Copies of this chain bind each other. A is one copy, B any other.
Amino acid sequence: MTHIAFLIYPGFTALDAVGPYEVLSRLPKTRVTFVASKPGPVRTDTGALLVHAEAGIAEVPAPDIFLVPGGLSASIAAAKDAELIDWVRGAHATTEWSVSVCTGALLLGAAGLLDGQPATTHWAARDRLTHYGATYVPERVVRSGRVITAAGVSAGIDMALGLAAELGGTPMAEAIQLLMEYDPQPPFEAGSLAAASSETVSHATRLLRTAALRDVGRRFLRKDPKARPATLER
């Protein structure tokens, strides 16, 4: 039985975790557990969705595989959370695979897993990744030893299908792909920095900034409901 832990934290991006979960949880002889600092509901980056962690990290110290999703400002905060980073470092000692999606790579970096390694992350966070000694590679999925990093959000689905083939064989991964009807037909050619127009890149960057500020504000306000963070006044 392969035990896969999905590490979630306040402000994570839901699809970063749920895309790969939908693939990997369909593998036979596989158990999936969503873990967080402590068990209970965890609010995602938009504020509109809560996902439940069924276990605290202390209960799952040595999964066979773990996956860390990204978030907006939250992944930067999580990369500074000593308890989470200690868990990532400790779990990595015995994993078969240690995996990140999107800015989840920042947590792997903070735990020292990317030092001197090639890795990927969300395009908007590529400079941050190099702070941890990683070499940013503009690929959708990057493997280096036992570490797999995937680019932004939906890249986790492609990554997970590749990992499913590794774990359960290609025929199994293909069957899971058909079950999910993963026959993508995006209506626009705008999904990567290379494909998007410069207008789309500017627009996306503005959206990201607004969402990140809202996200910082929300996390700030949760600590002190009366506070009015300066970042939201601009």
Contacts and interface: CB of A to CB of B under 8 A. Distances in A.
Given A179-B152, A192-B181, A203-B174, A54 B50 contact: yes
Contact of A184 (B31, B171, B186, B196): B186
Contacts of A176: 204, 207
Nearest to A33: B48
A157 B31 CA distance: 26
Interface residues of A, number: 70
Nearest to A41: B52
A188 B177 contact: yes
A26 B154 CA distance: 14
Given A34-B48, A186-B161, A154 B170 contact: no
A218 to B, nearest CB: 14
Given A51-B50, A187-B173, A200-B175, A182 B153 contact: yes
Nearest to A191: B183
Contacts of A174: 188, 190, 196-197, 200, 203
A183 B192 contact: yes
Given A14-B22, A200-B171, A179 B153 contact: yes
Given A50-B52, A158-B185, A191 B171 contact: no
Contacts of A197: 174
Q: How many copies does the complex hold?
A: 2
The 4 closest A-B CB pairs, nearest first, are A183-B191, A152-B181, A184-B184, A50-B52
A183 B187 CA distance: 11
B14 A154 contact: no
Interface of A: 13-15, 18-19, 21-22, 25-26, 31-34, 41, 46, 48-52, 54, 102, 122-123, 140, 151-155, 157-158, 161-162, 165, 170-188, 190-193, 195-197, 199-201, 203-204, 206-208, 211
Nearest to A188: B174
A165 B200 CA distance: 13
A203 B177 contact: no
A86 B151 CA distance: 42
Contacts of A203: 171-172, 174-175
Nearest to A200: B174
